[in-house]
Amino acid sequence: MSTPNLTTSLAARLVDLMRRGDLKEGAHVTEQWAADELAVSRTPVRKAMLFLTEVGILQRLPNRGFFLTRDASTLARPDLGQDEDVVESAYFEIADDHVGGRLTGAFTAADIGRRYRLTPRQADRVLSRMEGEDLVRRRAGGRGWEFRHVMVTAEAHDQSYRFRMIIEPAALLEPGFTVDTEAFDLHRRRQEALLHGDVVLLPRAELFQVNASFHEMLVGCSGNQFLLDAVRRQNRLRRLIEYRHQLDRSRLTGQAREHLRLLDLVESGDLEAASAFLAGHLDKVRSMKTGIDAEH
């Protein structure tokens, strides 16, 4: 299972640091300054800066160093109010505790409030959000809450990917498959935005939705509602366990490039090649996320 990645964590902290400093486009961002401000050594800072170069936030010039490609103020995350920020944080704490086996069985809104230091209003909001995403449900009679069945083990996650490897490549070969030009353009822009900074800037939930909706869009082009319903159900089931993988964002640039390659293949009309590429893409991601080798 994924653990927080030092490179992407430092990259996010460095973005926050540049934003707080109101650095302007073209500002020289030195390794030593970043290391001093973040209280870490230069080696991990250099890796974080190279990652920010990969996603277009910094530019590396030979023999000169790293420079900001846009005003830091444009790198701002969504403007969450203090109350919303608390709810967002609690949401992921609850998700992590459930996937980690630390929060199971029935619970009440009051339990959530005490455990995660929330006001009654905040506890109600986070539970309403999780209910809206089919993660929790009210118990019979309306007394308390419980988690719906979701994936919490690597083995279940592995089986989910294997199921998707059957369903999604087959969807591209359906006789009714038709490219939705408007949807393809939208998702191409979203994937390109990931490669130009969004992979660092977007919240975990939004990162998941960008990529989950990409796969739903492709399957939806098949015209087969049963295939689309199956993929949507998998996305609901895997949401919590996927959030853990968003802690390590370094691999997401590779996934975005493969998504763009997949769009190119489909638009070229070579659906056989696109189907094979999609199967390989899912298998690669499956192995990275679950740590389970293909032969197992």
Sign, CA dihedral 150-152-157-158, equals negative
213 and 284 part of one domain: yes
Q: What 8-state DSSP symbol labels residue 77?
A: P
128 and 213 part of one domain: no
Task: Tell me the backbone φ, ψ of residue 138, rounded to 5 degrees.
Answer: -75, 145
pTM flag (> 0.75): no
SS3 35: helix
pLDDT digit string, tens, across residues 168-185: 999 999 999 999 999 999
Residue in 151, 156, 137 with CA at minimum distance from that of residue 236: 151
pLDDT digit string, tens, across residues 207-262: 888 999 999 999 999 999 999 999 998 988 888 888 776 666 778 889 999 999 99
In DSSP terms, 138 is beta-bridged to: 145
pLDDT digit string, tens, across residues 36-91: 888 788 888 999 999 899 888 999 998 899 999 999 888 865 444 455 578 888 88
Work out how many domains the chain is built from and give that number. Answer: 3
264 and 205 part of one domain: yes
pLDDT digit string, tens, across residues 110-155: 999 999 999 999 999 999 988 887 889 999 877 899 998 887 788 8
166 and 272 part of one domain: yes
Examine residue 112 and state whether it is found in any structural domain, yes or no.
yes
CA 187/CA 54 separation, integer angstroms? 20
Task: Tell me the backbone φ, ψ of residue 179, rounded to 5 degrees.
Answer: -70, 130
SS3 209: helix
The distance of Cα 284 from the centroid of its chain, to the nearest Å, equals 16
199 and 138 part of one domain: no
Residue in 2, 289, 256 with CA at minimum distance from that of residue 164: 289
Give residue 3's pLDDT: 39
